[in-house]
């Protein structure tokens, strides 16, 4: 579908009371869902839903302690373009995201979670539930049959993405994530105007990629440490970036710590980081889909640190840039299991494949959220 629809469900008396329990499943209402479930959501459903679930309450189903399904409701603070109409009306509560393990999709668990979540919205005083941004005709029919949902709003995807965003990329190395963005822009899936590349490494392959893409401005700004203080270099870097008037700044393998003044001047800056970061920016541990935990490998040597620690997992995260390094709000993230005795180069190759998908998905989310 080239469109998305918002569905409305009337929260009448049929949603009063809890549905019968399902044998072999433990059902709990959690605000938010536990960290293992949130990581499982990222592993199974692409990487963007966990932050939405983190913003709300979820009905979580488990089988033998492992997540089997979830239905989030009453999420707060989401900024998507499709939530600027009916979602703001009095008495309307938000339903979703919603997902099941593949083996549960014919078990009846989905109907159970849907009913529990809609009933909980009614208990909170809502009179209507908004099921947002449905883009699949089969799902529209499912919600119609299971909950009496009807189409209330319809949106064109391209219109929701808005006009082309004036974008500057900062990269220090190979630039494969930069290439993923270039390709998505060329294919028409990302409405970005790539106005400039800034690199602090004259040998970066990202420079060649920018030249091949016909990007109009390429600024190579190495830091001459013997003759230039950090403050002087940062001031020059700021001046160059500001001269391009970017609406969006993408840090795609940028290896220089930016000062707080820079971050505050360009609040719409996104960074790709080769680690599975926690949704809580205060946490120094992250829980994985199997229930284990590991350090949140922040900083410039995340993959090396994960290998040195003998971690069974790594991953990637696209997050907003804040003054606290690698602690900005998560847009998308994805865990990745390590393979036995892998070399760092092999791990990085696998992570890059994940990053390429996350970069385009996260930028798309930013486009949907910008005001």
pLDDT score of 22: 86
**β partners of residue 42:** none
Tell if the pTM clears 0.75, that is, is over it: yes
Q: Is the pLDDT of residue 141 over 80?
A: yes
User: Is the N-terminal amide bond of 341 cis, ω within 30° of 0?
Assistant: no
pLDDT tens for 40-75 read 999 999 889 999 999 999 999 999 999 999 999 999
Q: What is the mean pLDDT of residues 165-180?
A: 97
pLDDT tens for 331-369 read 999 999 998 767 888 899 999 999 999 999 999 999 999
| Residue 78, burial from CB neighbour count under 10 angstroms (0-12, 13-18, 19+) | middle
Q: Is the pLDDT of residue 308 over 80?
A: yes
> Mean pLDDT score of the chain, rounded to an integer?
95
Q: How confident is the model at residue 176 (pLDDT cuts 50, 70, 90)?
A: very high
The CA-atom distances, in angstroms, between 94 and each of 75, 121, 137, 154, 287 are 6, 8, 20, 16, 27
Q: How confident is the model at residue 256 (pLDDT cuts 50, 70, 90)?
A: very high
Q: How confident is the model at residue 28 (pLDDT cuts 50, 70, 90)?
A: very high
- Rounded CA separation 74/72 (Å): 7
Strands 217-220 and 3-10: unpaired
The CA-atom distances, in angstroms, between 349 and each of 27, 151, 257, 367 are 39, 43, 24, 28
Q: What is the mean pLDDT of residues 105-127?
A: 96
**Reading across the β-sheet that carries 313-320, which strands appear in turn?**
217-220, 192-199, 165-170, 248-251, 269-273, 313-320, 330-337
Q: How confident is the model at residue 29 (pLDDT cuts 50, 70, 90)?
A: very high
Q: Is the pLDDT of residue 153 over 80?
A: yes
- Rounded CA separation 199/196 (Å): 10
The CA-atom distances, in angstroms, between 121 and each of 49, 262, 298, 332 are 19, 42, 38, 27
pLDDT score of 18: 76
Copy the structure tokens of residue 50.
């966990």
Q: What is the mean pLDDT of residues 239-255?
A: 98
Q: What domains can be seen in the chain, in order of their start residue?
A: 3-159 (3.40.630.30), 162-369 (3.40.50.170)
pLDDT score of 1: 63
User: Is the N-terminal amide bond of 269 cis, ω within 30° of 0?
Assistant: no
pLDDT score of 340: 72
Alpha helices in the chain (DSSP H): 35-45, 49-54, 109-123, 137-147, 157-161, 176-187, 205-212, 230-243, 260-265, 302-308, 344-369
- DSSP single-letter state for residue 62: E
Q: What is the mean pLDDT of residues 91-103?
A: 97
Closest CA to 74 of 87, 61, 60, 86: 87
């Amino acid at each position: 579908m080239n469109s998305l629809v918002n569905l409305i469900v009337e929260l009448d008396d049929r949603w009063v009371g809890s549905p019968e329990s399902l044998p072999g499943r433990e059902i709990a209402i959690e605000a938010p869902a536990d960290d293992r479930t949130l990581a499982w959501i990222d592993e199974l459903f692409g990487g963007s839903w966990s932050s939405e679930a983190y913003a709300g309450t979820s009905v979580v189903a488990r089988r033998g302690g492992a997540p089997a399904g979830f239905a989030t409701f009453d999420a707060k603070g989401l900024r998507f373009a499709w939530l600027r109409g009916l979602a703001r009306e009095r008495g309307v509560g938000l339903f979703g995201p919603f997902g099941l393990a593949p083996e549960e999709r014919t078990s009846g668990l989905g109907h159970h979670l849907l009913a529990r979540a809609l009933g909980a919205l009614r208990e909170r005083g809502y009179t209507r539930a908004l099921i947002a941004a449905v883009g699949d005709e089969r799902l529209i029919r499912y919600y119609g049959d299971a909950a009496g949902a009807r189409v209330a709003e319809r949106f064109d995807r391209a219109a929701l993405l808005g006009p082309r965003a004036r974008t500057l990329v900062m990269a220090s190395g190979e630039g494969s994530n930069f290439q993923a963005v270039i390709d998505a822009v060329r294919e028409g899936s990302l409405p970005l105007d790539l106005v400039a590349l800034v690199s602090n490494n004259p040998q970066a392959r990202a420079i060649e990629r920018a030249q091949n893409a016909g990007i109009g401005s390429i600024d190579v700004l190495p830091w001459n440490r013997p003759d230039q203080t950090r403050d002087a270099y940062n001031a020059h870097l700021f001046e160059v970036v500001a001269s391009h008037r970017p609406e969006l700044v993408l840090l795609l393998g940028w290896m220089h710590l930016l000062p707080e003044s820079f971050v505050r001047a360009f609040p719409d800056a996104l960074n790709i980081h080769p680690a599975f970061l926690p949704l809580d920016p205060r946490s120094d541990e992250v829980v994985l889909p199997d229930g284990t935990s590991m350090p949140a490998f922040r900083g410039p040597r995340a993959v090396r640190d994960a290998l040195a620690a003998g971690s069974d997992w790594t991953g990637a995260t696209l997050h907003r840039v804040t003054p606290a390094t690698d602690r900005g709000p998560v847009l998308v993230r994805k865990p990745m299991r390590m393979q036995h005795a892998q070399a760092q180069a092999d791990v990085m190759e696998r992570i890059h494949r994940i990053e390429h998908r996350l970069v385009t998905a996260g930028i798309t989310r930013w486009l949907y959220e910008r005001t």
